[in-house]
């Protein structure tokens, strides 16, 4: 089920029965509250398309909940949509192994040019920017769209997912964590004493947002990744002001400059860990030079909060596949499954199932899982379980933790790992570093064959019971 742009993607989602239009929800807390309630309280939450939002043009819409099901995530990754959790993970692992970079294709026109506001006529208040949570320091237009920058030294393009706050009718601010490539690009411009050109997309192909969740190698542009997934280069126009590539089928995009000599108060903002960890601070201002948007534009939103959230499902599944592949690339055999669990925001809790093959196998897998490129940022706990434990099933994992993990010999502490300002447990004077615990939640290798057997149902009897009392197990 391929698609051209966000609007075709929504048609496919509607055909799957997973799109819920909502009319009249207010930008002031109602959209954020409804998004979270449906995400948490429904077993298969739909994508939510908010229409007729008060104080905005009736045709200007807002989309949340893009990736909250295996089928919608599979659709975005151009995989079969009739899949379950394991099928999705396996299909993505195989696909990502064979991806070859396909660069974007520059075109002269596209729907993004249907409307253009230039410097002096710009009014960002035309586009739905919710107050997502009551303690937020302002309204955030950017929670689900890439920020596009160019490396001034090496000319390659980066797309990163960063929070973007409205500061005025033609002013924004973007907060980028230290170590992220968008910040590295910005600081290179600032070191030259010049503004940093930037494009921010506020609505478009959901794959663009997902691309920013993948730990790609340096100088591997997310545009090339999107092309690889789609099997063809994404069409881009040259920005009239910045000359940066802008998706031709995006819904809304701005061009501007991050100014090295002007700041404004940014935050606080409820983040993906479920806390206001970074507080309020002074952040560099973006002076918006042009706004490009389609007729009847759709802004995308992915408000973070206590997980699971809009973004943790997609990011966790992508990260799971990449950690699994990285373990195999490091020579770790016998990996049976990996889950970067949503309850840890797709980062803080990584569970690996293995078939033990030699002494130290479990420890090797645990240490690597918390330090490979795809698992290195903002990790906390790395748990390795036996192959009979489903890493996606927290009940099974916690049972194994309680019965197969000896704290004296099965737990190790790793210090001074890569963290960031959003880590709520790290004091301000230690920002950038955190510690990790790795757990061997496995039968001890040296006496594995003597470990007490598990109390299990007989499979033949279970099947017989299901047939005999099928009305109870439908």
Give per-residue pLDDT as tens, 294-341: 999 999 999 888 888 877 888 888 889 889 999 999 999 999 999 999
Q: Which of 300, 326, 352 delimits the end of a domain? A: 300
264 Cα distance to chain centroid: 27
Across the chain, what does the average pLDDT equal?
Answer: 91
CA-CA distance, 60 to 437, in Å (whole number)? 47
Which token pair is 416? 């001074």
Per-residue confidence (pLDDT) for residue 469, from 0 to 100: 93
Given a cut of 80, whether residue 431 has pLDDT beyond it is no
Q: How confident is the model at residue 27 (pLDDT cuts 50, 70, 90)?
A: very high
Residues 6+ apart with CB under 8 A from 366: 352, 382, 383, 384, 412, 438, 439, 440
Residues 6+ apart with CB under 8 A from 283: 165, 173, 174, 175, 263, 264, 265, 266, 267
Q: What stretch of H or E contains 412?
A: strand 411-418
Residue 84, CA atoms < 13 Å, CB-side half-sphere: 2
The answer on 259 and 178 residing in a single domain is yes
Give per-residue pLDDT as tens, 122-131: 999 999 999 9
Task: Answer whether 28's CB lies under 8 Å from 140's CB.
Answer: no
Least trusted range by pLDDT, from 233-247, 282-296, 297-311: 297-311
Helices marked H in 194-237 — which ranges? 206-211, 222-230
Length of the chain: 474
According to DSSP, residue 371 is labeled: T
Q: Which residue range is the domain that position 171 belongs to? A: 6-300
The answer on 143 and 53 residing in a single domain is yes
How many separate domains does the chain show?
A: 2
- 33-37 long-range CB contacts below 8 Å, 24 or more apart? 35/64, 35/65, 35/301, 35/303, 35/310, 36/303, 36/305, 36/309
The answer on 73 and 192 residing in a single domain is yes
Share of the chain above pLDDT 70, in %: 99
Per-residue confidence (pLDDT) for residue 178, from 0 to 100: 81
Instruction: Report, as an integer, the average pLDDT of 190-211.
Output: 94
Residue 473 lies in a domain: no
Residues 6+ apart with CB under 8 A from 110: 235, 237, 247, 248, 249
Residues 6+ apart with CB under 8 A from 342: 307, 308, 312, 313, 316
Q: How confident is the model at residue 368 (pLDDT cuts 50, 70, 90)?
A: very high
Given a cut of 90, whether residue 85 has pLDDT beyond it is no
One-character DSSP codes across 238-301: E-TTT--EEETT-SEEEEEEEEEEEEEEE-----TTSS--S--EEEEEEEEEEEEE-SS-EEE-
Closest listed residue to residue 226, CA positions, set 96, 102, 109, 312: 102
CA-CA distance, 443 to 452, in Å (whole number)? 9
Q: Higher pLDDT residue, 308 or 54?
A: 54
HEC string of 286-342 equals: EEEEEEEECCCCEEECCCCCCCCCCCHHHHHHHHHHHHHHHHHHCCCCCEEEEEECH
Q: What stretch of H or E contains 23?
A: strand 19-23
Residues 6+ apart with CB under 8 A from 445: 356, 358, 359, 360, 361, 362
The answer on 349 and 329 residing in a single domain is yes
The answer on 334 and 281 residing in a single domain is no
Share of the chain above pLDDT 90, in %: 69
CA–CA–CA angle 332, 378, 309 (5° rounding):
105
The structure tokens 């940014």 sit at 266
Q: Is 427 exposed, middle or buried (0-12, 13-18, 19+ CB in 10 A)?
A: exposed
The structure tokens 């949509």 sit at 81
Residue 245 lies in a domain: yes
Given a cut of 90, whether residue 356 has pLDDT beyond it is yes
| H helices, E strands: number in the chain | 12, 21
Say which CATH number the domain at 286 has: 2.30.110.10
Say which CATH number the domain at 406 has: 3.40.1670.10
Q: How confident is the model at residue 42 (pLDDT cuts 50, 70, 90)?
A: confident
Q: Which of 276, 300, 324 delimits the end of a domain? A: 300
Instruction: Report, as an integer, the average pLDDT of 269-297.
Output: 90
The answer on 377 and 259 residing in a single domain is no
Q: Higher pLDDT residue, 344 or 391?
A: 391
Q: Which of 268, 300, 332 delimits the end of a domain? A: 300
The answer on 382 and 283 residing in a single domain is no
Residue 457 lies in a domain: no
Q: How confident is the model at residue 192 (pLDDT cuts 50, 70, 90)?
A: very high
The answer on 257 and 405 residing in a single domain is no
CB neighbourhood size of 133 (10 A): 18
According to DSSP, residue 387 is labeled: T
The answer on 335 and 286 residing in a single domain is no
The answer on 64 and 212 residing in a single domain is yes
54: left (phi over 0), alpha (psi -120 to 50) or beta: beta
- Collapsed DSSP state (helix, strand, coil) of residue 423: coil
Task: Answer whether 109's CB lies under 8 Å from 237's CB.
Answer: yes
CA-CA distance, 21 to 50, in Å (whole number)? 6
CA–CA–CA angle 410, 456, 383 (5° rounding):
25
The answer on 332 and 240 residing in a single domain is no
Residue 472 lies in a domain: no
Per-residue confidence (pLDDT) for residue 141, from 0 to 100: 94
Instruction: Report, as an integer, the average pLDDT of 39-63.
Output: 93
Give per-residue pLDDT as tens, 436-469: 999 999 999 999 999 999 998 899 999 999 999 9
The answer on 322 and 296 residing in a single domain is no
Residue 65 lies in a domain: yes
Residue 467 lies in a domain: no
């Amino acid at each position: 089920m391929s698609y051209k742009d966000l609007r075709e993607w929504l048609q496919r989602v509607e055909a799957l029965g997973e799109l819920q239009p909502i009319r009249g929800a207010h930008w002031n807390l109602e959209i954020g509250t409804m998004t979270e309630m449906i995400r948490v309280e429904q077993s298969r939450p739909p994508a939510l398309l908010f229409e007729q939002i008060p104080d905005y043009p009736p045709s200007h819409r807002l989309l949340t909940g893009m990736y909250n099901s295996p089928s919608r995530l599979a659709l975005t990754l151009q995989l079969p949509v009739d899949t379950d959790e394991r099928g999705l993970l396996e299909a993505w692992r195989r696909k990502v192994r064979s991806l070859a970079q396909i660069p974007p294709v520059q075109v002269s026109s596209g729907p993004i040019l249907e409307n253009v506001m230039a410097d002096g006529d710009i009014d960002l208040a035309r586009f739905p920017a919710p107050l997502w949570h009551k303690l937020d320091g302002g309204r955030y237009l950017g929670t689900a769209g890439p920020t596009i920058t160019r490396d001034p030294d090496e000319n390659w393009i980066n797309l990163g997912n960063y929070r973007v706050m409205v500061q005025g009718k033609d002013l924004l601010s973007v907060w980028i964590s230290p170590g992220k490539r968008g910040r590295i690009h910005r600081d290179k411009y600032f070191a030259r004493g010049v503004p940093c050109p930037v494009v921010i997309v506020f609505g478009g192909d959901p794959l663009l947002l997902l691309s920013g969740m993948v730990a790609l190698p340096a100088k591997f542009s997310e545009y090339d990744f999107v092309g690889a997934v789609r099997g063809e280069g994404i069409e881009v126009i040259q920005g009239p002001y910045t000359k940066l590539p802008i998706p031709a089928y995006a819904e809304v995009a701005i061009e501007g400059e991050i100014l090295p000599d002007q700041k404004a108060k940014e935050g606080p903002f409820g983040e993906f860990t479920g806390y206001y960890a970074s507080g309020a601070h002074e952040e560099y201002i973006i002076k918006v030079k042009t706004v490009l948007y389609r007729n009847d534009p759709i802004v995308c939103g992915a408000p973070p909060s206590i997980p699971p959230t809009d973004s943790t499902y997609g990011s966790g599944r992508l990260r799971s596949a990449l950690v699994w592949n990285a373990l195999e690339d490091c020579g770790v055999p016998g990996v049976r499954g990996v889950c970067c669990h949503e309850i840890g925001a797709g980062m803080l809790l990584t569970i690996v199932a293995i078939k033990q093959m030699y002494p130290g196998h479990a420890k090797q897998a645990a240490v690597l899982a918390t330090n490979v490129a795809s698992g290195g940022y903002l990790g906390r706990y790395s748990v390795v379980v036996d192959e009979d434990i489903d890493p996606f099933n927290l009940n099974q994992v916690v049972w194994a933790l309680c019965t197969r993990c000896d704290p004296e010999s099965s737990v190790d502490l790793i210090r001074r790992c890569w963290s960031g300002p959003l880590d709520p447990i790290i004091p301000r004077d230690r920002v950038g570093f955190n510690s990790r615990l790795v757990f061997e939640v496995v039968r001890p290798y040296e006496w594995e064959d003597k470990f007490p057997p598990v109390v299990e149902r007989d499979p033949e009897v279970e099947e017989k019971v299901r047939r005999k009392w099928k009305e109870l197990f439908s």
